[in-house]
Each structure stands twice: as structure tokens, then as C-alpha cells.
Copies of this chain bind each other. A is one copy, B any other.
Amino acid sequence: MLARTPPPPYYAVVFCSVRSPDDAEGYTAAAERMMELAAAQPGYLGVDSARETVGITVSYWQNLEAIAAWRAHAEHTEVRRRGRERWYSAFELRVARVERAYSFGAQAPGAP
């Protein structure tokens, strides 16, 4: 249920957003498609995601080159454009280098 990632270092893309009230159906379909497509990219390590008032999606990547390639993906680029036009009232995207990680519990990375 939680993303299982290898030992650091690796990268996290932290995407925090506030949805506009528009086009819930189009947004959901695009979000599901992007999850599928991201998971098929080289260097993808996993994702965690939750939404209440604010939505947070954290995707994990082997290195900055993998993040740059995913950013340049044509379908992803088009979906980002629609996101700015229609689906989000605000977002903040952060690219961060994971330096330390600590797991607890049965669903932690590396657990059977």
C-alpha cells in the first residue's frame, strides 16, 4: 500500500495541489492514465498519493535524468497543460533528493 523504494539516495517529486471545481471526470481519467504511464517509465521507483482539501502525490525516481525524461514525455506534457488550464487552481511541485529513509511495519519497503 505504501511505495517500496530502494535505499537512498534517489529522488522524490512532491506535487501538492488544490483542484478547481471543474471537470472531475476528465481529471480522474487523466490522473489514472498518468499513474499508469509514469509507472512504465525508466527510472520510476514508485508513488504515494492522497487527496483531501489538498492533494499530495509523491513519485520516486532513480535520478534527475529519469525525472527530466518523464517531464519531456509528450502525453505527460499535454496533460500538464490541461492541468494548468482546467483542473488546478494552484499547485507547487518540488524536486528533492532523498538522503535518508526509515521504515516501520509490515508494509514497509523490503518486507516480505
- Which residues of A come within 8 Å of B, CB atoms? 1-3, 5, 8, 12, 14, 16-18, 48-56, 58, 84, 88-109
CB–CB B90/A14 < 8 A: no
List the B side residues contacting A55 at CB < 8 Å.
50
Main secondary structure of the interface of A (DSSP, over half): strand
List the B side residues contacting A48 at CB < 8 Å.
16, 54, 56
| Residue from the set A12, A55, A56 with the largest chain B CB neighbour count within 10 Å | A56
CB–CB B54/A50 < 8 A: yes
CB–CB A103/B89 < 8 A: no
CB–CB A90/B102 < 8 A: no
CB–CB B51/A52 < 8 A: yes
CB–CB B91/A106 < 8 A: no
